[in-house]
Amino acid sequence: MKQQPQNISLADYPLISGSDIELSRKALSRIFNPVSLEAEKPAKHFHFSARGVQLPHLWISSLSYEGRSTLGPVDPVDYHAFQVIPSGELRFTIDGQQMTANTTQPLMVSNGQQVQLQPADNSHCLSLVVKDEALRDVISTWLGHSKIPPIEFQKQLDMKNPAVISFLSYFHTIVEDLDRSAALLQMPAAVASLENMLLTYMLCGLENNLGDCLNTTSAEAGNVQVREIEEYLEANSTKPITMKLLTQVTGHSGRSIYRAFHRYRDCTPMEFLRNVRLRLVRKKILQATPGSMVTNIAYECGFTHLGRFAEEYKRSFGERPSETMQRVKKEGHFRR
């Protein structure tokens, strides 16, 4: 058996690694729709490895293929899947159209499409799979209604588009943070923040057919609603926070709330929440007990990207969170 690379993504989240076709098919069916899987005939070496993290509304997975095989067709899929290829290539047939995803060309699969996949030998794929209903729920929150046409993303992405570059960068950052530590998966606030950001980046960063729909106007929220949301965020900052919850607090659409925050506070509601959480992190560090870790405190308060969190903390308080913790330890100010 060929040894897997040591730096493979999501190595700490194994699902399967082996040459059994049926077990490989079942692992793929957990992440995607139920799928057929056949190795190349006459039979040659086949080895499949899957690692993945399942969140409430999405899968982040790392899939490696050795030997040629065919997956599908699956008709129709009920998800949207972003596929980025660190090595090798995947040959797709989507609604009868043939196209290739490779190291320079990611690919999107949209809900309702018929999909067949033929991975090239020794190919590795990072995949973000989101259920259609999760994206529709986000859009309904933004618009304030549920009359949304089917969502279809552009299959092949423009890698010169800054929005695509931004989405790809954020997706890789999330994978790197998961590789660094699984602690954030135990923190509901961090998981909700991660999901919300990924879904938002996907809708805003990847070209789709709802651009005009997402730019429509809705009833305006006012300063009273802004203050209501601020009070809600201050009282619930360690809990999972989504725009859907904020729309329920005010009865206004997510887009209207964003505009109101810009008008009255010159920030977004999530930027306000970030500042509330930064103050809470500092308070928890200053009141830390022996054995407390900055990483766990940050995740508990809803932060998912530790590097960005440390930069924001230093910008707010003039020192990195690790420096605050070291000072507390040195001065012996641990709370007993």
Give domain limits for the chain.
Answer: 14-134, 273-331
**pLDDT score at 94:** 95
Tell me the three state secondary structure of residue 63. Answer: strand
Q: Which amino acid is at 219?
A: A
Q: If you classify domain 14-134 with CATH, what class do you get?
A: mainly beta
**pLDDT score at 69:** 92
**pLDDT score at 218:** 55
Which backbone phi and psi does 331 adopt, to 5 degrees?
-85, -5
pLDDT along the chain (336 residues), means of 10: 55 94 94 90 82 95 94 89 95 95 95 94 95 92 85 93 91 90 87 90 90 65 86 94 86 86 91 96 92 92 91 95 90 60
User: Do the domains 14-134 and 273-331 sit in the same CATH topology, yes or no?
Assistant: no
CA distance 287 to 76: 53
Please say whether the beta carbons of 8 and 64 come within 8 A: yes
Q: If you classify domain 273-331 with CATH, what class do you get?
A: mainly alpha
Q: How many angstroms from the chain centroid is the CA of residue 77?
A: 20
List the one residue out of 5, 10, 8 whose CA is nearest residue 174: 10
- Entry field: residues in the chain: 336
Q: How many CB atoms lie within 10 A of CB 222?
A: 14
Continuous H helices in the chain: 21-31, 132-143, 162-180, 188-205, 211-214, 223-235, 243-250, 254-265, 269-286, 294-300, 306-317, 321-331
pTM: 0.82
| DSSP one-letter code for 220 | P
